[in-house]
C-alpha cells in the first residue's frame, strides 16, 4: 500500500483510529477497575460490556483479582503489538520482537498516562463548573481520586484551593517525557 497517496493515508488513519479507540476503551476499563469506580454507573457498564469479548480469553487464564484488571492491559498491549507488526508488514519492514514489545509497551504507557492527564483536567474543570455531588460527573471523581490522593497528602489546600491536580499533571507529564520517552528512544534506535 502506498502511504503517500491520499487513499493510503486515509486507510492508515482509519486503522490507527480504530485500534486507538479499542485500546483507549481497554485502558479505561483498566483504570475503572483500578480506581474502584462504581460498576453500577451506566458508563462503566457500557465499557465493561464492550470490552468483555476482548478480555474473555485472558479472563479464563488470568482472572481479575481485586483492582488489577490484567487481562484488559495485556489485551491492549497485544493489540498494539499486532498493530506494530501490521504496520511493519504494510511498509515492508521487518521489526524485531524486542522492538515490537518496546514499541507496544511504550505506546500503551503513553495512552494510559494521557488518559490520566485528561481525566484530571476534566475533573478539575467539572469541579469549578459543577461543584458538589452530581451523578453524571461522579465517575470523574472516582477515576481521579486515587491518582490525586498522594498529592493531596503532600500538598495541603492553599486558601481553599486544591493544587494537587496541577502537581499530579506535572508528575504524569514528567514521567511520560523522562521514563517512557527514554524507553521509546531505545526502541527507535533498534530500527535506525
CA-wise closest residue to 81 among 61, 95, 60, 63 = 95
Q: Which cell is 172 given?
A: 504524569
The number of domains in the chain is 1
* Nearest one of 143, 96, 93, 92 to 117, comparing CA atoms: 143
1 lies in a domain?
A: no
Q: pLDDT 10s per residue in the chain (192 long)? A: 566 778 878 888 899 999 999 999 999 999 999 988 888 888 889 999 999 999 988 888 887 777 888 999 999 999 999 999 998 888 888 899 999 999 999 999 999 999 999 999 999 888 888 777 777 788 888 899 999 999 999 988 888 788 999 999 999 999 999 999 999 999 888 875
Residue 148 lies in a domain: yes
pLDDT for res 189: 87
Q: List the domain range (segments joined by +) for residue 154.
A: 6-189
Q: Which of 18, 90, 89, 88 is nearest to 54 (CA)?
A: 18
C-alpha cell at 64: 481479575
* The pLDDT of residue 126: 87
Amino acid at each position: 500500500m502506498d502511504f503517500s497517496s491520499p487513499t493510503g493515508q486515509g486507510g492508515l488513519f482509519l486503522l490507527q483510529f480504530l485500534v486507538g479507540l479499542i485500546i483507549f476503551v481497554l485502558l479505561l476499563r483498566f483504570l475503572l477497575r483500578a480506581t474502584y469506580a462504581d460498576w453500577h454507573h451506566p458508563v462503566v457498564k457500557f465499557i465493561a460490556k464492550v470490552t468483555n469479548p476482548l478480555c474473555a480469553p485472558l479472563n479464563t487464564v488470568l482472572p481479575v483479582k481485586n483492582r488489577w484488571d490484567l487481562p484488559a492491559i495485556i489485551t491492549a498491549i497485544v493489540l498494539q503489538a499486532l498493530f506494530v507488526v501490521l504496520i511493519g508488514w504494510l511498509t515492508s519492514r521487518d521489526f524485531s520482537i524486542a522492538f515490537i514489545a518496546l514499541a507496544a509497551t511504550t505506546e500503551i504507557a503513553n495512552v494510559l498516562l494521557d488518559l490520566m492527564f485528561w481525566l484530571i483536567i476534566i475533573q478539575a474543570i467539572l469541579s469549578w463548573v459543577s461543584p458538589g455531588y452530581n451523578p453524571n460527573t461522579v465517575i470523574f471523581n472516582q477515576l481521579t481520586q486515587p491518582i490525586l490522593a498522594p498529592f493531596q497528602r503532600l500538598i495541603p489546600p492553599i486558601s481553599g484551593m486544591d493544587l494537587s491536580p496541577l502537581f499530579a499533571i506535572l508528575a504524569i507529564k514528567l514521567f511520560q517525557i523522562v521514563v517512557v520517552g527514554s524507553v521509546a528512544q531505545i526502541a527507535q534506535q533498534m530500527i535506525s
